[in-house]
Each structure stands twice: as C-alpha cells, then as structure tokens.
Structure 1
Amino acid sequence: MIRNHLLLAGSLALTLTSGAVLASITPQDISKLGNELTPLGADKLGNADGTIPGWGESTSREAVSAGKPLFEITAANLDQYRDNLSAGQIALFERYPETFRMPVYPSQRTATYPQRIYDNTLKAASTAELLNGGNGFKGAYDAYPFPLPENGLEALWNHIVRYRGEYIKRPTVEATVERSGSYTYSRSEDEILFNYNQPGGSEAELENILFYYLSKNDDGSAQLIHETQDQAAEPRLAWGYLPGIRRVRRAPILSYDTPVGGGGLRTADDTDLYNGAPDLYDWTLKDKKEIYIPYNNQQLLKETPEYDDIFMAGHINPDFTRYELHRVWVVEGKLKDDKRHIYSRRTVYLDEDSWGAAIVDQYDGRDQLWKVSIAYLANYEDVPTTWTTWDVFHDLQSRRYHVQGLVNKGNTAIDFPEVMPKKKHFTPASLRRMGRR
C-alpha cells in the first residue's frame, strides 16, 4: 500500500454558504490596505489593553530579550484564560490536567513577506473572485486573493494559497504516539514546488496546479502529488513508487476523510490543518477573536531534541512550546446535509497576520468535540514568511496523537533553495527514475 504522507495543503476551494456572493469591496476599503490595515488585511494597531502589539512590534522587548515566559496557563488557572482559548485547547487541559500547560510569551507580530506579495495582494483585492461555488478563484496570482474577506470561503482560500516560499526541501520525521506515550516514527525527504508563487509566472500558466509535491521515504517508496486548484473539477493527481515491484502506480484519490499516516489519526484534509476541496461544508466567517496560539517557535527549527524528551502521554512536552496572544479569524465549517465526512463540524482559527491556520477543532457525528490540530508557527526570516514547524494532531477520545515536521537527526531544518528544479522533475517518469537509483 502506498503510504500517503504530507499532502501539505495547497489546494482549493470552498463553498459558499448560500450560493454565489457578489463582491462589495469598494475602493475606499482597498485604500485601507497598507494604512490602517497591513498589506494582507490584518489590523495594524494593537489591542486596547496593549496585550497585542501593533504590526511589527512586541508587547515587551525586555521580556523578549530575557527569553522567559510571562506566565503559564495550567488546569489550575484555566478559568482565568478560558475566553482566550479554543474549545480544543480547553479540552486538552481537561484531559491532561496534571501535565498539559501553555507557556505564554510576549506577543510579537513578526509576520512579514516579500514586497511582491504585498503588491500582488493589493491588485488581487479588486480583481479576485470565487468560481464554481467557491471551489476555485480567478483574478489573483502569487498573492493572498482575499485580504478583505467577506465570507468564510474567501478567508479559507487565503490559508490554502498563503505564501510559503517558491521551493522547499526538507528532511522530516512524523511520529505516532500511543496513549501510553510509546511511539513509532518514519522519515522522508520532501520537495515542494509552489507553482502559484513562481516569480515571473502568471495566472494563465497555472493550468490548475497550485503546487508539486515529491516525497522519498526511508523504506524506498516515494510519492508524487500534483495539487489541483479546483479539486471539485479535477481531483488532485497522485502517484506512488513501490520498491517491491519497482513500478510507479497511480494512487487512489487522496482527499476528504481518507486516512493518511498516523494509524488513522489524520485525514487527507487534516494535513496542513486544512487542505483540499471545501465543497462538503458550509463555511461561515465568525469575525475575529483574541486567542493564545503557538507563535515564534523558531527553536523547533533547530535539530530536533531526543524523541524521548519530546513525546509524552497525551501531548508533546510543553517545554518545547511557545504561545502568544494574537488575533485570529474564526471560520466555521458545517457539514452539508447531503454530504458525508467523519467530521460534522470544524472550527478553524486563522492567524490574522499570516492567514495560516494555528488551531482547528473537529467534531464527530454527534457534534461532540473529537480532535484538535495545532500548528506551531514560526517566523522564517530569510524567506520571509510565517509558517508551521511541527503540526500535532490530537485524538481526544483515544488519547493518541500524531506529529509532523520533526527535523531528522543530524540534518538541518527546512531549506528554501534559490535554484529550483524544472516542473519535469515532478512527473511520474522522474519518480520512476528516482526509484531505480
């Protein structure tokens, strides 16, 4: 069987809660970008009580230099901070009251991007529009298409096509941790070429491909994915190399709630906290909320500590985590009456400065909270971008969890090479040659 690894996200679409919605963004609205709003549409000013700073600032430079948390949230003081936590975070405190905690540091709004992303986003604000019931969009390239979102689909699209560089290579480890704290892990070497963000490219050249993904696994197998932009029109394309038969085979459809990796702890559309066709859900934009989310976890980009020190029963070791208070967009997806998925509802918390999902709470068919996914965000200053380091997928019922993004022992973290391969590197023929070596 082909092991379905890291389908990173990239793709697609979303569905309008009530059919097509006509944009009502005015020139006056757009003029706010880069002024009272950041170039990507976040509020530039901090909050009223100063616990969230202005864009590009920190709430406490002295505390930042000291490198120590301001305080910790624990089960004992949970009620004091409950209003600034997601339902999933609260559930983790209730499941593991003796061990789960959140070290809170001074908030630093460090998310920055190349100037071309800002320029392209300003253009897209007046030209981008959803297509095919929200399963695609047009009028944007190498940009955040909806910096002034009017509905949940537009906000979710910003997450799906957020800027993460043009090409990445990373040696990575993913691990599955059992209820007892015992674990198993596997290694891979991943490459991603972001077709949507190629400098000098254009929307016309996309050909419905957002990115190309290639993964070589330590067991000799390999996977190739072409992530399509409108997956309702054209499902993502996937191939696998099987070392036992030395052949490349077309993989089954890897989408929606197909189990991938981690002993069933992660679905295909859980990867990257949310990816793929959004057409099973009605998506609603719930406005912003102040939430303690993982942020500036640059220490996780270093060589991974000993696994025995990271993995605990129920959750990763809080000593390796870093939380800050940030504003997030809250987007809720409710399963349509005529659709099927193991999650009846998902609540997605999008960091306002990067549009990256920091937390997703998932509910079962009884509308009971079942899982919580957490992305430990970091600032990649050299790119620049804000993106994940480790993604952790918690099953609150089985008390097991799955971790993606650990750095291989003896290797550096993710690399953003300036020299990029040609698109022909990401073809089944290339996959076949790679498997023979």
Structure 2
Amino acid sequence: MNNYKNLISGSTLLISLWAGASFAAVSVQEAAALGQALTPVGAEKAGNADGSIPAWTGGLAKDAGAVDGNGFMTDPYAAEKPLFTITAENAEQYKSKLSEGQLAMFKRYPESFHMPVYTTHRSAVFPDNWLEKTRENAEKVKLSGGGNTLENYRMGVPFPIAKDGLEAIWNHEARYVGSTLQRNIITAAPQANGQFTASLLDQYVAMQWALTDYDSSRDSNVLFYYKWRTVSPARLAGDVLLVHETLDQVKEPRMAWVYNAGQRRVRRAPQVSYDGPSTTSDGQHTSDNFMMYNGAPDRYDWKLVGKKEMYVPYNAYRLDDPKLKYIDLIKPGHLNADYTRYELHRVWVVEAVLKPGQRHIYAKRRLYLDEDTWQALVVDHFDSRGQLWRMAEGHMEQVYQQQIPLILVETCYDVLNGRYFISGLRNEITNAPKYGIPLSSDDFTAAALRRSGVR
C-alpha cells in the first residue's frame, strides 16, 4: 500500500465523483464542472500545490512546430534539459511516484535503465467536435450488459467524469486517436542480448464514425477498424491482419481475419483477442496489450483506486528523431533511456483483477491513465502467483498539427526473461503519416485482405 500513500484526494467535488460504482450518466450539475474546475475531458484544470504540475491552459497550438516532408515534427521542447534523472541509486527517493514495474526495471537493469525527468507540460488538446460530443456524453452515455456495452455513444470521451474502473477503462479504449490514419512503423522483439529483426508494417486505423460511408445501423457495434500489412522481413511480407473492434465483445466478439501471403488464404482469427500472442511479437506481447490495453473488459473486475502524481513518459519527440537509427534506440533489456522523456503528471490508477473462473495469463493488471487524455501510459502486469511479470510504457507525443495525443512508441518489458516488445518507431521511414484520409467500409472487409496482401 505504500505506493498509494500519496493518492491525491483533490477537491470535495472530485472525491464525490470517484465514490461508488455507477452505470449511469452524471447529473447536469456534475457535468457543469467540465470546462470550469475540470478540463473539457474531465481532468483537474488547476495545477498541483507546489507548481510542479502546471494548470492546463489549452495545450499545444497547431503551429507549435514545423513538420517536414517525411512527417517528422519539430520538438517544441528541444531546448529543455532534464531537471534530474532517476536511477537505481536514487529510485527509493521517488518510489511514491513510480509504478512497481518501473521500480523492478531499476533492479533488473541498475547500470542502464534510468528516467530523465523534465519540466511538465500539459500539451494535450483535442478538436472542438470531439470536445462537444464529450460534453454531451457526460449526461447521456451509460454502461449496460454488465459493463460491456456503451449506450448512446458515437464519439468523444464516453465518461469524462468517470465514477468507477469500468468507466475509466472505457475512456481509455475509446480515446481520441484521430479519425483515420495510415502510417508505416516498425515492431521488434529483441533478444536479451539486444539482437533484433525489425518488422516493417503498413498500418491503417479508422474510427467507425469517420468512414465515408458510415451507416449507424450497420456500424452501431463497431468502435474502430484496424488493418496492418507486413512489408518486411521477406518471409512475412504480404501477411495482413484485419480487425473490427466491437463495442460489445461479449455479444459480438471482436472480428478478426488474417491473410497468409504464402498460402494465399483468408481465414478467421479468433485468437486475436485477450491473451493470444500479437503479430510479430515472438510471444512477448498479447493481443490485448496492443495500444497498452484493448478489447473486451469482461474477464476482469475493474476498480478505480484513485488518482496520484506519477513520473510517466510524455512529450516523446526525441524518440521520433530521423537522425537516429533503430540500432541507436533498441538496446538490450529496454529502449535506450538516453532518448526518453518523463514528466510528472496526475494519473488515474485502475486495477483489473481476473474474475473467478476466467482465464488469462495476466491475473492482475494495474493501469495508470493520464488525466489529460485517458490514455494508459504505464501498465504493470502480474502472473497467477501475484508476481510482477511485465511492465508496459506508452511514450506519447501531441501531434499538434492534428490535435491528437498519440502514443508514438509502445514498449512491453518482461522483467523475468529480459526480453521486450517495441512498436511504433519510424525513424528510418520516409513515408509521412497520413491523417484524415478517406476510408470506407470496403477498405476493411475480408475480401479486401487479398488485395492488401499482394507482395
């Protein structure tokens, strides 16, 4: 319990918002706090007592920096130097603001793992239409079906004033990642000695409300569409994964298909869910580890523990520097810590405990959700013995020209076997990400897989 000694109680208003479990929308009076004491997405607008977390004043402007022809953004904080660095030697001093998994990384890699801590910037901001829907959702969106279904939801943060763990995790699952996106990224699962083979992926994501042929009757149970085509290495080139992420995955399980270029076959892929191994991860990452956490929440009991101040990866522009090579960043045991950036932010602490009779390789997860975005930035995973097994971090940056707080790089560290999975690096890629491109339901059908998989 020592990790929670410093849970922030906040104002009387915020305490009342945390109390109890509710599957109902909030009152008009509660919703009125949005844009006043709370930011438009439900974070505390004020800074903390000592000023180390500033007040939210609107986030980064669209013109906060330049974007080159390959899609690399200027770091608006490039001139800043670390305030201090957390190492294995001084980690005990900061333990109240670290996760159990982060502390385990200091013990596992005392010579190399460190956390450069910089000035905190509350850079997150969203488009106006997303915020307008968020305000409406506060009074109308509800959970049903045992917490597995969002009612009256189309877009926006479902529960900007979350009252329980299920509402908080739905905010993470439905968070804003833009409307449509196409980008090239790499993934890798390094060996303990640091050797790795990078897989180049062509990735498409589309929110259901952003399709050019969106039909509310047809797409009412779809949250987003996802397609990822492997470009290299050669042995995997042309393989394609397609996912329809459903809102109610108990009523209608996630629909997934794979196209195997060697066999030239499309087949259903029910294993792409829960703890099924994710593509290209060499078993170091589960399907529901993708995007820090995704999928049906039905196998866990979810508890909103409270809010705390924590050092989390944030404003990770240095990791997107085109001057760096993958070999500069992917090191034995963990991402090269010299290029990481941590800031002190308030996070919601959510614990997920496996329900009796349910199966999953993770018996417990502890998620730390950024208050300004509802994005999980750190997740600790525990095995059936209660032992810490894996720690995931999401290195987020504000894509300022698009007003998208987006996870740039995901890492999932196995503190037992010394391996990890990394996804999202694009330093050596010259194709710029494309945001808001026109995509229709025809781009995300099983029939479209074969066309996508042509080598």
Per the alignment, residue 384 of structure 2 pairs with 365
User: Residues of 1 paired with 2:83 and 2:147: CA distance?
Assistant: 42
Give the counterpart of 2:285 among 266, 277, 285.
266
User: Residues of 2 paired with 1:289 and 1:199: CA distance?
Assistant: 41
Return the offset for 1:411. Answer: 1.7
1:313 aligns with 2:332: yes
1:213 aligns with 2:226: yes
Return the offset for 1:121. Answer: 0.6
> In 1, are the aligned partners of 2:211 and 2:439 still within 8 Å (CA)?
no
Q: Which amino acid aligns with 2:33?
A: K
Return the offset for 1:363. Answer: 0.3
1:435 aligns with 2:435: no
Give the counterpart of 2:350 among 306, 311, 331.
331
Per the alignment, residue 87 of structure 1 pairs with 100
User: Residues of 1 paired with 2:39 and 2:254: CA distance?
Assistant: 33
Return the offset for 1:183. Answer: 1.4
Give the counterpart of 1:236 among 254, 257, 260.
254
1:322 aligns with 2:344: no
Q: Which moved more, 1:127-136 or 1:400-409?
A: 400-409
User: Residues of 2 paired with 1:205 and 1:276: CA distance?
Assistant: 20
Return the offset for 1:204. Answer: 4.9
| 1:320/1:199 CA distance change after superposition, 3 Å | farther
Deviations 1:399-430 (A, max 9, x none): 101100011624245331x3312211111222
Return the offset for 1:375. Answer: 0.3
SS in 2 for 1:92: helix
Q: Which amino acid aligns with 1:124?
A: N
> In 1, are the aligned partners of 2:238 and 2:454 still within 8 Å (CA)?
no
> In 2, are the aligned partners of 1:165 and 1:197 still within 8 Å (CA)?
no
> In 1, are the aligned partners of 2:350 and 2:367 still within 8 Å (CA)?
yes
Give the counterpart of 1:426 among 421, 440, 444.
444
User: Residues of 1 paired with 2:183 and 2:408: CA distance?
Assistant: 11
Per the alignment, residue 414 of structure 1 pairs with 433
User: Residues of 2 paired with 1:258 and 1:241: CA distance?
Assistant: 17
Give the counterpart of 1:157 among 170, 173, 188.
170
Q: Which moved more, 1:322-331 or 1:175-184?
A: 175-184
Q: In structure 2, list runs of 5 or more residues that go unmatched.
A: 1-19, 60-75, 232-236
Deviations 1:40-70 (A, max 9, x none): 0000000001000000379xxxx95732111
1:30 aligns with 2:31: yes
> In 2, are the aligned partners of 1:64 and 1:106 still within 8 Å (CA)?
no
Q: Which amino acid aligns with 2:93?
A: Q
Per the alignment, residue 375 of structure 1 pairs with 394
Per the alignment, residue 62 of structure 2 pairs with none
User: Residues of 1 paired with 2:366 and 2:323: CA distance?
Assistant: 30
User: Residues of 2 paired with 1:198 and 1:35: CA distance?
Assistant: 33
Per the alignment, residue 69 of structure 1 pairs with 82
Per the alignment, residue 111 of structure 1 pairs with 124
Deviations 1:101-156 (A, max 9, x none): 00111000010000111111110000000011011111222110100111000000
User: Residues of 1 paired with 2:25 and 2:182: CA distance?
Assistant: 40
Give the counterpart of 2:244 among 201, 210, 226.
226
Give the counterpart of 1:130 among 140, 143, 160.
143
TM-score (norm 1): 0.90
> In 1, are the aligned partners of 2:21 and 2:164 still within 8 Å (CA)?
no
Deviations 1:201-229 (A, max 9, x none): 68655331111111121212112111111
User: Residues of 1 paired with 2:183 and 2:391: CA distance?
Assistant: 25
> In 2, are the aligned partners of 1:69 and 1:106 still within 8 Å (CA)?
yes
Per the alignment, residue 268 of structure 2 pairs with 250
User: Residues of 1 paired with 2:347 and 2:414: CA distance?
Assistant: 23
Per the alignment, residue 72 of structure 2 pairs with none
Q: Which amino acid aligns with 2:388?
A: L
User: Residues of 2 paired with 1:22 and 1:195: CA distance?
Assistant: 24
Return the offset for 1:307. Answer: 2.2
Q: Which amino acid aligns with 1:181?
A: G
Return the offset for 1:358. Answer: 0.0
> In 1, are the aligned partners of 2:140 and 2:152 still within 8 Å (CA)?
yes
Per the alignment, residue 411 of structure 2 pairs with 392
Q: Which amino acid aligns with 1:397?
A: L
SS in 2 for 1:308: helix
Per the alignment, residue 175 of structure 1 pairs with 188
User: Residues of 1 paired with 2:212 and 2:136: CA distance?
Assistant: 16
User: Residues of 1 paired with 2:423 and 2:138: CA distance?
Assistant: 33
> In 1, are the aligned partners of 2:324 and 2:427 still within 8 Å (CA)?
no
User: Residues of 2 paired with 1:436 and 1:92: CA distance?
Assistant: 41
Per the alignment, residue 69 of structure 2 pairs with none
Q: Which amino acid aligns with 2:263?
A: I
Deviations 1:54-93 (A, max 9, x none): 00379xxxx9573211111111111221110011111111
1:145 aligns with 2:137: no
> In 2, are the aligned partners of 1:165 and 1:385 still within 8 Å (CA)?
yes
User: Residues of 1 paired with 2:98 and 2:351: CA distance?
Assistant: 16
State the Cα RMSD in Å: 2.1
User: Residues of 2 paired with 1:64 and 1:419: CA distance?
Assistant: 29
Q: Which amino acid aligns with 2:441?
A: K
Q: Which amino acid aligns with 1:186?
A: S
Give the counterpart of 1:282 among 296, 301, 310.
301
Q: Which amino acid aligns with 1:116?
A: N
Identity of aligned residues (%): 43
User: Residues of 2 paired with 1:44 and 1:268: CA distance?
Assistant: 34
Give the counterpart of 2:320 among 289, 301, 306.
301
How many residues of Structure 1 are paired with residues of Structure 2 in the alignment? 414
SS in 1 for 2:449: helix
| 1:414/1:88 CA distance change after superposition, 3 Å | farther
Give the counterpart of 2:202 among 157, 164, 189.
189
